[in-house]
Amino acid sequence: MKHQLNVPSPIISIIVPIYNREKWLRNCLDSISSQTFKEWECILVNDGSTDNSLKIAQEYAANDERFIVFSQENQGVSAARNLGLDHAQGKWLAFVDSDDEIAPDYLEILHKIGEDNNADLVNGSVIVLQHHGKIHPIILDEVVYSAEEEKFGKLFYERMSGVIKLYRLSIIREHNLRFDTTFQFAEDMIFTLEFYLQAQRFATSATAIYRCNRRVSNGEQLHHKTYDFQTELALYQKLISLYEQIRKRHPHLVQRLHSALHINYITDRLLNVIEKQTNSIAQRCKMYRFIKHPSYAPEKKSRSQSLRYYLLYKQQYFLFALSRIWVNRY
């Protein structure tokens, strides 16, 4: 079900995926309605909600034709964003999560910076409201730079999510960039990294504010559902491939990339799946061979962890398997 847009040539397309967010959705949509920049369309994709989210979305679309509603059976946030991408008509693209909010001048500031500096991507700043009520602001410097400048590394000190950004839509179209529906973890980071690799010019804003309402703790956010070995391996290989592409262009970013791309965490997810699947050391060693971990030192948390990773880097799979058994025993 959908409502067609009658507003001619929106400059910014906003995509809001929605799944059971009736408690927060009005605040989100009100923040979009209140934008000082008026030439936008907002594509609301209801992803099979079972609460009143669809009804609320339709209400906003009935009152403001810049809101467009699409509804699909529940397929996940990546499929919802892809559906929005299929229908986006603007020159620029923004994503807003349905339980978050944007400041009234958010679009105006990002759009002006993007146009004035011929940028392909503009990063905004964010205020994170933690689940326990603590406020964590992440305010960026006002910077403009190219993909070949040292300043490019600043991207990896910022949030790697798909939100808090204004993308030039023509780059997404030209390179057919999509959200990978295979994964429910890191899918927005993969999309953003693939965009980074195609973009040439970047800018950041200290005053365009996105409010991220974190409904769960960091630990709960990270411990997403794990998959079968093949899916976890595909996620690992995808991130390592992106890591290597960026590292070759920007070798000075090695240490920062490890952290920004959660390489150790992704590796641990894969290791845990392997070890749940079999108790056989021989079988584990065969599966460990798929892990082509970068050969440089990761962010170190402890001497014992560093030693274990060193064994993995050196392909000492039997010793590595024994070290994992020893650690998991205690």
Cβ burial 23-44 (10 Å sphere, 16+ → b, else e): ebbeebbebbeebebebbbbbb
CB contact at 8 A, 88 and 169: yes
Among residues of the chain, what percentage have pLDDT more than 70?
A: 84
The pLDDT score that the predictor gives to residue 219 is 39
CB-CB contact of 212 with 137 (8 Å): no
Supply the DSSP string of 147-201, one letter for each residue. Answer: TTSGGGGGGGGS--SSSSEEEEHHHHHHTT----TT-SSSHHHHHHHHHHHH--E
Q: Is 30 a residue whose pLDDT tops 60?
A: yes
Judged on CB neighbours under 10 Å (0-12, 13-18, 19+), 229 is middle
Kindly tell me if the per-residue pLDDT of 159 is higher than 60. no
Q: What is the mean pLDDT of the chain?
A: 86
**pLDDT band at residue 111 under the 50/70/90 scheme:** very high
Angle at 80 between CA 264 and CA 39, to 5 degrees: 110
140: which DSSP letter? P
The pLDDT score that the predictor gives to residue 89 is 97
What is the structure's pLDDT at 41?
98
Q: Taking a C-beta distance cutoff of 8 angstroms, is the pair 125, 211 a contact?
A: no
Is the model's pLDDT at 3 over the cut of 60?
no
Q: What is the pLDDT of residue 22?
A: 96
Please tell me the predicted confidence (pLDDT) of residue 325. Answer: 83
- Distance (Å, whole) CA 154 – CA 29: 31
What's the pLDDT tens digit per position in 38-78? 999 999 999 999 999 999 999 999 999 999 999 999 999 99
Please tell me the total number of residues recorded for the chain in this structure: 330
Residue 250: per-residue pLDDT: 78
b/e per residue, 131-161, with b = 16+ CB within 10 A? eeeeeeeeebeeebbebeeeebbbbbebbbb
Amino acid at position 141, single letter: D
What is the model's pLDDT at position 55? 98
Distance CA 7, CA 115 (A): 22
Q: Are 236 and 190 in contact (CB under 8 A)?
A: no
Bridge partners for 102 per DSSP: 210
**Mean pLDDT of the 145-165 span:** 71
pLDDT in tens, 188-218: 989 999 999 999 999 999 998 999 987 653 4
Q: Which two tokens stand for residue 166?
A: 């204004």
**Tens digit of each residue's pLDDT (9 = 90 or more) over 5-17:** 455 689 999 999 9
How high is the pLDDT of residue 258? 73
Q: Phi first, then psi: what are they for 68, rounded to 5°?
A: -125, 135
Residue with tokens 């090695």: 254
Where is 203: in which H helix or E strand? Answer: strand 201-213
Q: How confident is the model at residue 259 (pLDDT cuts 50, 70, 90)?
A: confident
Confidence (pTM): 0.87
Q: What is the pLDDT of residues 217-237, one digit of tens each?
A: 343 343 445 578 898 899 889
Rounded CA gap, 114 and 199, in Å? 13
Domains of the chain listed by start with CATH number: 12-220 (3.90.550.10), 229-329 (no CATH)
Q: Who has greater pLDDT, 245 or 297?
A: 245
Of all residues in the chain, what percent carry a pLDDT higher than 90? 51
Query: Which pLDDT score is estimated for 267?
Result: 85
